[in-house]
Amino acid sequence: MEAFFFAHYLYPSNLGIVAQQAGLAYALLMKFHYLLLCCVVMTAQAEVYRLVDKNGNVIFSDQPHPDAEKIEIDTLPSYTPVAIPETLSEEQQEGDADTPRYKVTILTPANDETVRNNAGLVNINAKVTPPLDQDRNDQLTIKLDGQTLGEPSTSPNFTLSEVERGTHTVQVVVVDKDKKAIKSSIAVTFHLQRIAVQRKAPR
């Protein structure tokens, strides 16, 4: 502030510029004080002192001063990071390094397709890449509405019989020799329509 009055005495025409610079310096000083206060608050057991200098500036400090006022600040609670559960990689989920990375796709019926068969027969055709590992004795099973049907086989073609009319979901699953699932296709939804033929009563 003394520098401000000295500049005004020597250069009265520059009073506006000097005042602007002094105001900027004061604003920066206040920001520094607030930043210092925040840093002090972050310390768990810190003591903060508030002091007003002869120019009216408020100063916060962690050092005691005869004219300073001690500010009581509650101790910040400690933070314990939440433990992140360990997640398995895609390779670990599907098996060890020796397990083939199969891709199973149902070719027919198409998803949301309507199948018409009065006998309740539905043909399921699938594709598996790479081919099933015969040395591992990998095979295929089929699931209708979440239920496994029949025994595993190496054929990607299945015929479901006596399927009730209505909406169903089907999946083709690769299993190992212990019938443990290795890879499943995306579930496909189909709608079976069975037309009931009414017979005329004999006369």
Residue pair 123/159 in contact (Cβ under 8 Å)? The answer is: yes
Q: Which sequence spans correspond to the domains of the chain?
A: 2-71, 90-193
**CA 22, CA 7: separation in Å to the nearest integer?**
11
**CA 43, CA 77: separation in Å to the nearest integer?**
11
Residue pair 132/174 in contact (Cβ under 8 Å)? The answer is: yes
**CA 101, CA 89: separation in Å to the nearest integer?**
13
Model pLDDT for residues 24-69, shown as the tens digit of each residue: 556 565 655 555 555 544 444 557 777 777 777 767 677 777 777 8
Model pLDDT for residues 109-164, shown as the tens digit of each residue: 999 999 999 989 999 999 999 999 999 999 999 999 999 998 999 999 999 989 99
Give the residue among 172, 171, 173 at the shortest CA–CA distance from 189: 171
The fold adopted by the segment(s) 90-193 is: Immunoglobulin-like (2.60.40)
**CA 166, CA 168: separation in Å to the nearest integer?**
7
